[in-house]
Structure formats: structure tokens, C-alpha cells
Amino acid sequence: MSKLTLGPVQFHWSAAQRLDFYARMADESPISCAYLGEVVCSKRLPWFEKDLTIIAERLQRAGKQVVFSTPALITTDREVSMIASICHAVELIEVNDIACISLLNGKEFVSGPLINAFNEGTLDVLIGMGAVRINAPIELSASAIITLASKSKIEIEVFAFGRQPLAISQRCYHARAHDLHKDNCQFVCGEDLDGMEIAQLNGRPLLTINGTQTLSYGHVTLLSDLANLQANGVTHFRLSPHALDMVEIASVYRAVLDGALDAEEGLVKLRKSTAPIPFINGYLHGRAGMEWLTNPTNE
């Protein structure tokens, strides 16, 4: 049976909000696996680091697999030391910077969506290094993902809901937007629980920022594509946390995956939780990422 996963929280939420969020996801949601940790900016980690053990134990008691995610861009010795200690302390790591693999000492790992696993050769290299699950890069089309899934028996995960993480930088866009420097950012990213809209194209919102990260404005929504991907070897579908009713969203995805709910009915239900943010699915169909194809043909 295909599994639903919950990606790491990408935004700067308060410790109390994280605890409440994961309590609900542990007790009420149909997810099978949750990724924990700070992916975007390690300066945020002290705000909730002490709660990670509590959160992980709560999720595990509920029968969820827990994977710890590494930062997407490692820039300091302190971050290297932190990742090294995590690698020794936990069972499974999601690698989001390829440099982290050298710290694993042969341990198995999950290859995150920011690792450029675009072809079969790269999959073979990652598997040889110890990868047990590989996230398809968000830019890949359905046909490319299916090709990767057909060429390997490894678990394949696809980003199935949420604002797409497009880029990461050493510069902090959020701080700059508030006329602050990165070293004295005052954690202004915490003012925007789902990111800040920053760019439009022909009057239509295009991008959001989240600290040093650039994301899509629209929510990737793959409900209409789940059956095809599921039938062709994709094993895991990732939901990215947002300040929305993620229990309801996960329940809709689970029902569509199980065939208990038609995809079109699922979209209607999902719209109630996500409006007015638009749905997008262009990348999966070989189009511009911001597009929404209501009756797509897989390309």
C-alpha cells in the first residue's frame, strides 16, 4: 500500500505551534512517516530543538516512522558538528545536502527532494551509498518519475502537496525585505506562517519567500495523478506542512489513494481547506510549474 509522509516544517513556527501540530498529526492523521528537523535555516533550530525528542516519541507511539532531516545548505562548522551528532543518534536521516553522506559512515538514508536525482545513473550512485528511499526532484515530469521507479526497486517518494521548495540561498530574503541583515534578522520569517508573497507574473502571484528559501505561491496538488503514479511504482507521497488543517488534507489524500474517494471529489474537499491559494501541477506534466492542468495527460 502506498504511504503518506509528512515533510519537515519549512517555516518558522513557534515551539508551541509545532507541539500542537505534531500532536494532532500523531493522533488523528493517516500519515505513515514524519520528517523532523530544520531544513531551511539552522538559526531557527534552538527554538524547538528541545522538543524534538518529545515530538518523535509521540509520533512513534502512534505508529509513525520518524526520519530526521538535515539542512539544505550547510555553511558552518557548527552545522557540520550538529549533523554528525544527529547521524550517530538517530536511526534514519533524510539527506538534503549531498555533503552529509560523508558523515553517515555507511548508514542507510533517505535522499531528500533537494538532491538532484534526475536519472537512473544517479539513483544507482545513491543506492550504492546507502539510500533506501529517494525523493524525486520537484521539476521531474510524471513520465520521468515513472521511468526512475521502473528502473529500481528502491522506494520512490513524490512531493504531492504544498508550496514547492524551489531554491535555497545564503542570503536571507525575509530579512532584506524588512531592511534587516541576516545576522540580525530578528526572526522576522516567523511573521509569515506559510511564507511571504514576493513576486507576480501578469498580476498573478508567483513566488513566496521563507527566510533563505524561495517557494512557489501555489500549492502543488497531485490528487488527480495519484492513481497513475501509484500504479507505476511510486511508494510514498509527501505532504508539506502548512498552517492549514493538515489532518483533513492528509485524510483526503489517503481516501483518494485507497480508492474510497474520487479525485475530483477530493479536489472539492481540498479547496475548502486551501482557498484562496491556487492549485498547481505543471512540472509533473512537463509544463511551467505554476500551471494547473485540470484534465492532464501525463507527458
The CATH number of the domain where 18 resides is what?
Answer: 3.20.20.70
Closest to 38 measured CA to CA, from 12, 64, 75 = 12
Identify whether 177 is part of a domain.
Answer: no
Closest to 158 measured CA to CA, from 216, 101, 228 = 228
Identify whether 201 is part of a domain.
Answer: no
Identify whether 232 is part of a domain.
Answer: yes
**Domain containing 73: what range?**
3-164+218-278
pLDDT for 298: 45
Identify whether 283 is part of a domain.
Answer: no
* pLDDT tens for the chain, residues 1 to 299: 899 999 999 999 999 999 999 999 999 999 999 999 999 998 898 899 999 999 999 999 999 999 999 988 887 888 888 788 877 767 899 999 988 888 888 889 999 999 999 999 999 999 999 999 999 999 999 999 999 999 888 999 999 999 999 999 988 989 999 999 988 999 999 999 999 998 788 888 899 999 999 999 999 999 999 999 999 999 999 999 999 999 999 999 999 999 999 999 999 999 999 999 999 999 999 999 999 998 655 44
Distances (CA, A) of 10 to 165, 169, 284: 9, 14, 22
Whether the Cβ atoms of residue 55 and residue 18 lie closer than 8 Å to each other: yes
User: How far apart, in whole angstroms, are the C-alpha atoms of residue 246 and residue 234?
Assistant: 22
Question: Which grid coordinates are listed for 10?
Answer: 519549512
Identify whether 176 is part of a domain.
Answer: no
Identify whether 137 is part of a domain.
Answer: yes
Identify whether 51 is part of a domain.
Answer: yes
Q: Provide the domain count of the chain.
A: 1
Identify whether 265 is part of a domain.
Answer: yes
